[in-house]
Structures are given as C-alpha cells and as structure tokens.
C-alpha cells in the first residue's frame, strides 16, 4: 500500500507545475493528481508529429516520464524531490489520433527508489463520435529520491 509523506501533495504538485515551462510549451497538463498516480492529456498538434503524422517517439517517452515522475513526487516529503534514474519505453503502435492520454502510477514505493509505470493511450474518434483508444506505449521507470543533503557534483 502506498503512503504519502506530504498531506498537501496536490497543492505542492500544482505549485510546481506553474514553473514547468516545458510542459506548457508542448501543451501537456496533468488533469488528475492522486497519491501515487497522475494523469494528463495532450491535444496532438502538427509540432508533435514526425513522418507520416506519427507522434514523435521522444515526446511519447517524455510524457511517460513526466507522469510517472509526478506520481512518485506525490509520495515524498516536502523537503524531497524525485529524478528519473532509469526509464524503459516499449512502443506498441504509432500514435496518430487527436490526443494522448497518459497515466502514471507508482507500483512499489521505497525510501530511495519508487518503481513506476506509465501508459500512453492514443485517442481518436470514429465516424459516430465514439472514443477509440489504443495503447501506444508503456514505460517502466525508477524514480530516485533526492534528499535535502544531496548535492550535485
């Protein structure tokens, strides 16, 4: 069972998000912030695409990293942060829809490492306006906790 060490984690994440210029630049926002779980949406634009209209794989990996990282961030105390120690992304199909839905969650919580996963869903609509979802990619990540005494070399 997951345990947050910061009862104000939602406000903490929301405050942190205000300074996330990169996320704003690409148009990605977190819509769900829960203990050990976050979700976000990206409306796909031309700038997100590569050849044949596929969403760039680097963007898919970045979105997986962001959501998994913030899922881990909800669990650590206020004086701690998390950084990606390792990420592995498996791509199942190119994303070509109108938006991406990304879900990040902590699978196993630890003092120094949180093991997480993220799913990136390609979302489009059929001729009747019904949502069609395909799993585009799945990532597993290790998020390392950064303690107050940690210093960059």
Q: What is the pLDDT of residues 8-65, one digit of tens each?
A: 999 999 988 888 899 999 999 999 999 999 999 999 999 999 988 899 999 999 999 9
**Residue 93 pLDDT class (50, 70, 90 cuts):** very high
User: What is the SS3 string spanning 15-79?
Assistant: HHHHCCHHHHHHCEEEEEEECCEEEEEEECCHHHECHHHCECHHHHHHHHHHHHHHHHHCCCCCC
Q: Name the CATH architecture for the domain at 9-146.
A: Roll (3.10)
Give mean pLDDT, residues 93-115. 96
Closest residue by Cα to residue 70 from 123, 29, 99: 29
Question: Using one digit for the tens of pLDDT, what is the confidence trace for 99-108?
Answer: 999 999 999 9
What does the pLDDT read at residue 16?
87
**Overall pTM surpassing 0.85 (yes/no):** yes
pLDDT above 70: percentage of residues in the chain: 97
Task: Give, as one character, the DSSP assignment of residue 122.
Answer: E
DSSP element (H, E) containing 108: strand 99-108
Burial class (CB in 10 A: 0-12, 13-18, 19+), 111: exposed
Comparing C-alpha atoms, which of 112, 123, 53, 56 is closest to residue 85? 112
What is the distance between the alpha carbons of residues 36 and 112, in angstroms, rounded to a whole number? 15
């Amino acid at each position: 069972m997951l345990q947050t060490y910061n009862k104000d984690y939602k406000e903490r994440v929301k405050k942190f998000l205000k300074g996330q210029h990169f996320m704003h630049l690409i148009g990605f926002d977190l819509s769900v912030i829960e203990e050990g779980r976050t979700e976000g949406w990206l409306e796909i634009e031309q700038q997100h695409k590569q050849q044949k209209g596929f969403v760039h794989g680097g963007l898919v990996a970045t979105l997986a990293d962001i959501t998994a990282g913030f899922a881990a961030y909800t669990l650590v105390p206020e004086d701690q942060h998390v950084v990606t120690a390792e990420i592995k992304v498996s791509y199942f199909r190119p994303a070509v829809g109108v938006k991406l839905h990304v879900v990040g969650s902590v699978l196993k919580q630890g003092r120094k490492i949180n093991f997480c996963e993220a799913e990136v869903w390609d979302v489009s609509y059929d001729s009747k306006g019904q949502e069609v979802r395909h799993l585009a990619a799945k990532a597993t990540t290790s998020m390392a906790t950064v303690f107050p005494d940690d210093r960059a070399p």
